[in-house]
Amino acid sequence: MRLVVLACAVATVAACGSGSAAPDADEGLACVEAKRGEDYHVNLEHPGAKGQLDFVLTSATPAPPGFSDNTWVVQINAMSAGVVGAPAANASLTVTPFMPDHAHGTLRVDVQPMPDAGQYKLSPITLWMAGLWEITIDATAGAARDSTIYRFCIVP
């Protein structure tokens, strides 16, 4: 099993460039100049795609999201007719970082509930290459199922 995981990791690195070469900062800067990502700020809010849940990126370490390992805290609340409601306690989340220009993702992200209702810690979000990253958060809270995508340009 370890051999298969190692082979997949080597194939991913080979597909995106030499493992010994430094990340291409030019790709990250081009992403920023083209305004492909969003500007980070505390409490960056995204209504879910279906309007059932509301997502708020309450904090990111580092801030703004950056090269290597990141830790985020998100607040998820119920939503109805565009109105944000109660915190979505006991939600089930899947977090999927993806680099669309290279058609690959990264390592699995752990999700831990925080003491405050509806808050979840996402870590590590490993953004290991310069360029545009899309971090999709899929959430299920009771009967509500919704998702959002945060897009950031990563510059090493």
Q: Is 101 exposed, middle or buried (0-12, 13-18, 19+ CB in 10 A)?
A: middle
Specify whether the CB–CB gap between 65 and 152 falls below 8 A. Answer: yes
Q: For the chain, what are the domain ranges?
A: 22-154
pLDDT at 93: 98
- The percentage of residues in the chain with a pLDDT greater than 90, rounded to a whole number, is 83
Lowest mean pLDDT among 9-18, 59-68, 130-139: 9-18
CA 92 – CA 139 distance, rounded (Å): 6
Residue 25: which pLDDT band, with cuts at 50, 70 and 90?
A: confident
Tell me: the pLDDT tens digits for 100-130?
999 999 999 999 999 999 999 999 999 999 9
Helix (H, G, I), strand (E, B) or coil at 3: helix
Q: Within its chain, how far is the Cα of 7 from the centroid? A: 25
CATH of 22-154, one of 2.60.40.3340, 3.20.20.70, 2.160.10.10, 2.20.25.240: 2.60.40.3340
Residue 1: which pLDDT band, with cuts at 50, 70 and 90?
A: very low
Tell whether pTM > 0.95.
no
pLDDT at 116: 96
CA 146 – CA 97 distance, rounded (Å): 17
User: What b/e readout covers 26-40, taking b as 16+ CB neighbours within 10 angstroms?
Assistant: ebbebbbeeeebeeb
Q: CA dihedral defined by 111, 113, 117, 120, rounded to 10 degrees?
A: -30
Token pair, residue 147, equals 């998702």
CA 105 – CA 27 distance, rounded (Å): 17
Q: What is the mean pLDDT of the chain?
A: 88
Backbone torsions φ then ψ of 33, nearest 5 degrees = -60, -35
- The percentage of residues in the chain with a pLDDT greater than 70, rounded to a whole number, is 85
Tell me: the pLDDT tens digits for 75-98?
999 999 999 999 999 999 999 999
Token look-up 């597909």 returns 15
Residue 4: which pLDDT band, with cuts at 50, 70 and 90?
A: very low
